[in-house]
């Protein structure tokens, strides 16, 4: 069983990671590189008159972008393992897992691991003002776990109290609040930060939809053989 | 009988739990560990995937 999970997750995660990296190169990397010009001070946003919004950006960097490709594949294989394990466990209890139902699992994964943390802690453009990394990581994991449990309660819960608990779990991290800085010192224009966050979420949704579909497809194929 | 059922349940759940732990371990190492070599290598992906990075 373990090898079926790993096989499905590897195939789905690796394909998704490669496509997510390509989408990142086209949609996110130009915004990221642009923001870094402000982060290092090459461009200055305030008190300098108007700043050119279309500066020359560095091109494809074999080392840097190669590592992005590698880590994108690695992260989506990790997500794939979690997703396939959850799908497989649900299948043990009678859930039907196919490419079609996998899409819903993928979107749920996006909501739990990408969208919910982003509601209070938007994807961070380089050069923004941020508080201590550990506090943000603890909040990130807490939000992911609370949201994942909430989605499972909504999907598989029968009693109204489960739905009520799910709503409380969905809201709690945002009512408690993410760690935010006491002062804004980031040099990056808000236009870039906003574009970065929305692009990161858009690519994330596309990647998770693909991951769920592929994970469902490969899992159905792996388990059909036995 | 109870022992048999328990063993069966355990062996059914174990691979899923193991895969989930492995997956979360990979996500933690690639996305969250702050060792500088790892951070630098994964930098762009961490930002793009919405992990807290710096």
Show me where the domains of chain A are located. 2-130+181-225
Is-contact A82 B23, C-beta < 8 A? yes
CA distance A134 to A179: 10
**Interchain contact, A133 vs B52, CB within 8 Å:** yes
Question: Å from B15 to nearest chain A CA?
Answer: 5
Q: How many CA atoms lie within 13 A of A38 on its CB side?
A: 26
By percentage, how much of chain A surpasses pLDDT 90? 72
Higher pLDDT, A153 or A60: A153
pLDDT on residue B7: 52
pLDDT single digits (tens) A142-165: 999 999 999 999 999 889 999 999
pLDDT single digits (tens) B3-49: 555 555 556 889 999 999 999 999 999 998 888 888 888 999 999 98
- Residue B20: closest CA among chain A residues belongs to which residue? A82
CA distance A102 to A99: 5
**Interchain contact, A85 vs B20, CB within 8 Å:** yes
Residue of A24, A121, A122 with shortest CB distance to B48: A24
State mean pLDDT over A37-60.
80
- Residue B50: closest CA among chain A residues belongs to which residue? A123
Average pLDDT, chain A: 92
Residue A21 has pLDDT above 90, yes or no: yes
pLDDT on residue B11: 60
Is-contact B31 B42, C-beta < 8 A? yes
The dihedral region occupied by A57, where left means phi > 0, alpha psi between -120 and 50, and beta the remainder, is beta
- Which range is least confidently modeled, A105-109, A206-210, A219-223? A219-223
pLDDT on residue A128: 77
Residue of A71, A84, A204 with shortest CB distance to B30: A71
Range among A59-73, A198-212, B35-49 rated most confident: A198-212
Closest CA to A145 of B16, B20, B34, B41: B20
Going by pLDDT thresholds of 50, 70 and 90, the confidence category of residue A132 is confident
Going by pLDDT thresholds of 50, 70 and 90, the confidence category of residue A138 is very high
pLDDT on residue B1: 47
Angle at A149 between CA A143 and CA A153, to 5 degrees: 140
- Residue A29: closest CA among chain B residues belongs to which residue? B44
Residue of A5, A29, A92 with shortest CB distance to B44: A29
């Amino acid at each position: 069983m373990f090898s079926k999970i790993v096989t499905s997750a590897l195939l789905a995660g690796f394909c998704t990671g490669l496509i997510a990296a390509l989408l990142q190169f086209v949609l996110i990397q130009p915004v990221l590189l642009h923001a870094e010009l402000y982060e290092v001070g090459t461009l200055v946003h305030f008190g300098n008159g108007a700043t050119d919004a279309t500066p020359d950006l560095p091109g494809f960097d074999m080392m840097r972008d190669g590592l992005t490709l590698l880590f994108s594949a690695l992260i989506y294989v990790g997500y794939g393992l979690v997703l396939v394990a959850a799908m497989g466990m649900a299948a043990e209890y009678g859930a039907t897992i196919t490419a079609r139902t996998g899409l819903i699992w993928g979107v749920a994964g996006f909501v739990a691991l990408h969208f919910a943390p982003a509601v209070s802690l938007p994807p961070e453009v380089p050069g923004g003002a941020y508080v201590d990394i550990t506090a943000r990581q603890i909040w990130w994991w807490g939000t992911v776990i609370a949201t994942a449990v909430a989605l499972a309660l909504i999907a598989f819960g029968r009693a109204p109290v489960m739905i009520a608990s799910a709503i409380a779990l969905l809201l709690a991290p945002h009512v408690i609040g993410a760690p935010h800085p006491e002062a804004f010192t980031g040099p990056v224009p808000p236009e870039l930060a906003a574009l970065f966050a929305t692009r990161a979420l858009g690519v994330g949704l596309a990647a998770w939809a693909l991951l769920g579909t592929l994970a469902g497809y490969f899992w159905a194929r792996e388990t059909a053989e036995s | 009988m109870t022992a048999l059922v328990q063993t069966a349940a355990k062996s059914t759940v174990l691979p899923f739990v193991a895969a989930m732990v492995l997956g979360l371990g990979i996500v933690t190492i690639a996305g969250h560990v702050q060792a500088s070599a790892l951070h630098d290598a994964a930098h762009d992906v961490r930002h793009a995937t919405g992990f807290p990075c710096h």
